[in-house]
Structure 1
């Protein structure tokens, strides 16, 4: 897969991790036929879907490949691909207002007007704009951004600025130098500086430490100052066209196997174990517990207070974040064990499809006792791709089952479906809760009498082609999965979430201090929790998209997450108010029901979205475009005739909405 995607990333298209992670779930070796033989027509006019009274329009801000190109260079003899075209246009100081204007005119003829207005996104990678001057100092080169800002002056359209400065900001000589200094990086437990890659695209795991004196942060602040100066020099009538600024980019912690390890639970390796981060963790623990005695009491219970053989801490400086794993060494001290469950919660997850849509709930039981309903409607694009009969990518389910207070031994996890007045059993799994033996986990067999629901509930019909047959799979837990609770791992995860939040706060504060209007600043965040099979603690973003934050909430949505019950619940919790929220990257990736595409766009209008940014259009020369079936990114190119991932249906829906 890595080799197949080595040439995926167009030079002028900013790609987030999310757009590929959603797009590649379950991607088969041979691309399936994207378009079914017959598609249900959208019978309800688009205008009837837009029900909410609004005083402000919703903006469709197109992500466009090729803003740095120019029409004049397309026929130049030395131009042989997009890279040479971009260099030609930069050398001659040419912009791409002609091709961009033509695209916007096709989507919304006559200019931006009405309930839904079409504009575009200008992306600049802040650290990648620095060049070394003659005196050896790094200087921000304003020319590339200034050339693209001419588009704002020439085109009377709404525009967003994406000021990218996180781990995808890696092009150019400065990111390469920053990556060689461990102080600028988030580190794994071995504390060795390293860069990652994302399908051959270089990734630099910049630190989330907000210290403004760190070189990486100093250059980010300088870049923000330079960008603000360029904007301040624009005429007011052109500055007013800027309706949003995406600040930073996807901001999260890093994990091993960055390209496709987002569902790792058994052996995760995460950041940040740098000396500065470890010291910050110790301070965080001291603030939380007040004293080392209180921490020992919380971690070790009555045994710790009684001064038993359990090795309690004598000082906060003794504490190291957990980085061991009992799967590799059964004698790992329990306070050093770290995996996707060690914080005391078991992710019960899988996928479920009821063609008759008669299921009221999926219920999770523990030892025969009802724990609660699983959250449904989570993204499983892989299942949608593989099974023709599954009509939505939002087939995932999940429940976080607390086990930190359970007695040691084996327990039964059961999953059932409630359909009408009938409940039936889907599947069951045994898990093994490990007790403690001094400082270690107790691996001695501790059988318990657990309760199975077999014989108490009828089995659900899952075979054959009967109308009542269901399709499902319980992905986790695996049978007899060992589970060990580590309170230090719980605190480590919470601290890492705080790091993400505090860094985003610092970036926002820098921008406001420099002079950016706070009402324009949106986050550009990833939402792992909308995927049923992902380990959200790898990313630690849980607190960064929440109500009460000073920036406007912006988050990327793909596949089953574009509009689902979990997405709707999240938006309701945000209480974003009249200024709304934004979706900096948006693609439904659905082709089995065209109504779902239109309904998703309309739902965001009705929910108060300030903008959504369809991902993606291209104004690159046709001869330089890769075929849609060649890679996961090109599948999402929005154009007539590209049936891959339902991109043609999304394109048609955008035309209809832009006419409102």
Structure 2
């Protein structure tokens, strides 16, 4: 009997230990969640206008109101931009909001390519300006606030003398099937289509060199100073490119993407070999008859406009098997601030329901009487599994007074590889009762074009995946570089574009999706504009992507908000795990045009930026 009792004590002890372990875990999680709720959100505005101070080769402008003269602040053995930074932040408000939920630091933008000076004696004819690097380090040392270091070097021009030199080398440029992209323009400034396909080209080597110089200077600062570093943003928006960058991101544009360099073509064949093992397995997957992997070329031609040697060369915005159904609608009968809902029917069967909530600045400019720009809607219809033939799409508005209002009909022709003329398919179901759109309803269906031909090429999703992996691989390179320095423990993050939730954007052109997911030691840093700043759709996406935390690296609602409204947005991000939130601060002299139209400033009325500045001041004071 005693032996039986003692034998039973073992399982009891184990159960007790497990219970204690679970209790300890729950307590730990509770403390972590409690601390997360208590953690303040670091407002880290990106201070603009510092380049003339950090880069003394540029002409010094007139100082911002209240700021010390640039020459006096920047020149000399201890020159830095610290005085200007502190002056601009002090004008915004105190370091802490009264409720303790907001803490004010700053983002120091360091344009990497601006650190180079021509020098005939240096390797490649350029050298790092050590004094400019020291001014960066002294700025960090001179401002006693948390700082996010933005190591900026994206396709947006920095105005650096080395840029046109680097752009003259095709190895540095993203390539379409016809060759390197030309230098483009964005908001009137040069836009350089730097490649993300190679790590051995000149642009990558110069970024490496500048990043090592900056990290080296910071590593020589006292440990207490380095402890102010709250994060490091890698490069800025990093993704694949395409022609006409400013206007060519839509599904209605000719589909020309990157990268088709020899490096990418060879890399794609290698990726297919690694995934499928044998060309026979690839052929079974595609339904193709390639002799070997080297015979497989990235899809690069539009079957509707170009002659193909084989079907697997076809690519367009829908070739991956989905087509955008999109437009805009305004129902004057809806209460102000409430989104309308749109239903999509395929061959009479209801397949989707989406809110009209996306920003449409084009509609707001053309129809200001509607009083809002949140009118866009979009549904991505998967057609890859549909039978070939002519299908019918119907779009209906859920009216404010009940019932459905018919907005329009489109026909899509799902084509087989043999390109036989499509046959009209019967309706699956009868459409529900609908009445014509009422007089108070304004709307437009942007896509798809009526009678559009759709061709699914299963090689295209593999190509899209490879292009997205190129973006991640490029960012991983710089993550590893910093991980080998004394800054290894400083959180590193992307500063990435968010194309997935834009009504008219074709996210496949950017191939940024994989870089928005966790990889390596890099955390999510994401640029949010318009509806994405304060819409539940972003937090839904955040939950689906399982992010352990994030930072809002660029923030602008594109409309004025009151202090209460802006405070609620900040609080939403804080409670969802945002570590930092950055917006642009670039002082504007009275009567002058803003250098950055998205900068919060009392003298910048663009996109409600003056009122957003006032709202931030009110929250801090």
The alignment's TM-score, normalised by the length of structure 2, stands at 0.84
Where 2:144 maps in the other structure, the secondary structure is coil
Match 1:345 to one of 312, 319, 322:
322
Residues 359, 419 of structure 1: 8 Å contact kept? no
Residues 97, 619 of structure 2: 8 Å contact kept? no
- Equivalence for 1:221: 208
Q: Which moved more, 1:609-618 or 1:584-593?
A: 584-593
Match 2:242 to one of 229, 240, 255:
255
- Equivalence for 1:615: 584
- Equivalence for 1:166: 154
- Equivalence for 2:90: 105
Residues 381, 559 of structure 1: 8 Å contact kept? no
Once residues 271 and 200 of structure 1 are traced to their aligned partners in structure 2, the CA distance between those partners, rounded to angstroms, is 23
- Which has the higher relative contact order, 1 or 2, with Cα contacts under 8 A spaced 6 or more apart? 1
TM-aligned CA distance change 1:134 to 1:88, over 3 Å: farther
Post-superposition CA distance 1:138-194 (Å, at most 9, x none): 322232232243233232222111101232255434333332222233211112463
- Equivalence for 2:117: 131
The alignment's TM-score, normalised by the length of structure 1, stands at 0.79
- Equivalence for 1:627: 593
Match 1:287 to one of 254, 274, 292:
274
TM-aligned CA distance change 1:568 to 1:386, over 3 Å: farther
Once residues 111 and 593 of structure 1 are traced to their aligned partners in structure 2, the CA distance between those partners, rounded to angstroms, is 19
Match 2:139 to one of 147, 151, 164:
151
- Equivalence for 2:16: none
> Does the alignment pair 1:65 with 2:48?
yes
Cα distance, 1:463 vs. partner?
Answer: 1.5
Match 1:502 to one of 470, 473, 476:
473
TM-aligned CA distance change 1:339 to 1:501, over 3 Å: same
Note the 1:38-437 alignment, pairs <5 A.
54-69=37-52, 94-109=79-94, 114-137=100-123, 138-168=126-156, 171-192=159-180, 194-211=182-199, 213-300=200-287, 304=288, 312-329=289-306, 333-354=310-331, 355-356=334-335, 361-374=341-354, 377-388=357-368, 390=370, 392-418=372-398, 422-437=403-418
Residues 42, 105 of structure 2: 8 Å contact kept? yes
Where 2:508 maps in the other structure, the secondary structure is helix
Once residues 584 and 430 of structure 2 are traced to their aligned partners in structure 1, the CA distance between those partners, rounded to angstroms, is 46
Where 1:486 maps in the other structure, the secondary structure is coil
Cα distance, 1:538 vs. partner?
Answer: 0.5
Once residues 270 and 596 of structure 2 are traced to their aligned partners in structure 1, the CA distance between those partners, rounded to angstroms, is 47
Residues 90, 144 of structure 1: 8 Å contact kept? no
Where 2:406 maps in the other structure, the secondary structure is strand
Match 1:601 to one of 566, 570, 577:
570
Post-superposition CA distance 1:585-611 (Å, at most 9, x none): 111111387764443223212222111
Where 2:258 maps in the other structure, the secondary structure is coil
Once residues 45 and 488 of structure 2 are traced to their aligned partners in structure 1, the CA distance between those partners, rounded to angstroms, is 22
- Equivalence for 1:544: 515
Q: Which moved more, 1:405-414 or 1:417-426?
A: 417-426
Once residues 599 and 172 of structure 1 are traced to their aligned partners in structure 2, the CA distance between those partners, rounded to angstroms, is 40
Residues 44, 104 of structure 2: 8 Å contact kept? yes
5+ residue gaps in structure 1?
1-50, 305-311, 465-469
Residues 404, 485 of structure 1: 8 Å contact kept? yes
Cα distance, 1:286 vs. partner?
Answer: 1.7
Post-superposition CA distance 1:45-77 (Å, at most 9, x none): xxxxxx996332211111222223469x9xxxx
Residues 379, 561 of structure 1: 8 Å contact kept? no
> Does the alignment pair 1:654 with 2:616?
yes
Once residues 266 and 434 of structure 1 are traced to their aligned partners in structure 2, the CA distance between those partners, rounded to angstroms, is 21
5+ residue gaps in structure 2?
1-33, 64-68
Equivalent pairs, count? 573
Post-superposition CA distance 1:378-426 (Å, at most 9, x none): 3323334444455554432222111112222211112223458634433
Cα distance, 1:523 vs. partner?
Answer: 0.7
CA RMSD in angstroms comes to 3.2
Once residues 172 and 634 of structure 1 are traced to their aligned partners in structure 2, the CA distance between those partners, rounded to angstroms, is 18
Once residues 116 and 147 of structure 2 are traced to their aligned partners in structure 1, the CA distance between those partners, rounded to angstroms, is 24
Where 1:654 maps in the other structure, the secondary structure is helix
Note the 1:432-447 alignment, pairs <5 A.
432-437=413-418, 441-442=419-420, 444-447=421-424
Residues 73, 83 of structure 2: 8 Å contact kept? no
TM-aligned CA distance change 1:129 to 1:642, over 3 Å: closer
Post-superposition CA distance 1:212-267 (Å, at most 9, x none): x4333233222222111111111222222221111111010010111211114451
Match 1:534 to one of 505, 518, 530:
505
TM-aligned CA distance change 1:596 to 1:425, over 3 Å: farther
Where 2:446 maps in the other structure, the secondary structure is strand
Cα distance, 1:358 vs. partner?
Answer: 6.8
Residues 339, 356 of structure 2: 8 Å contact kept? no
Cα distance, 1:280 vs. partner?
Answer: 0.5
TM-aligned CA distance change 1:329 to 1:209, over 3 Å: closer
- Structure number with greater Rg is 2
Where 2:280 maps in the other structure, the secondary structure is helix
Once residues 498 and 463 of structure 1 are traced to their aligned partners in structure 2, the CA distance between those partners, rounded to angstroms, is 49
Once residues 72 and 260 of structure 2 are traced to their aligned partners in structure 1, the CA distance between those partners, rounded to angstroms, is 44
Post-superposition CA distance 1:63-106 (Å, at most 9, x none): 222223469x9xxxx96779xx9799766674443333222112
Cα distance, 1:450 vs. partner?
Answer: 4.2
- Equivalence for 1:20: none
Where 1:104 maps in the other structure, the secondary structure is helix
- Equivalence for 2:439: 463
Match 1:472 to one of 443, 457, 462:
443
Once residues 546 and 268 of structure 1 are traced to their aligned partners in structure 2, the CA distance between those partners, rounded to angstroms, is 25
Residues 63, 121 of structure 1: 8 Å contact kept? yes
- Equivalence for 2:25: none
Once residues 177 and 139 of structure 1 are traced to their aligned partners in structure 2, the CA distance between those partners, rounded to angstroms, is 14
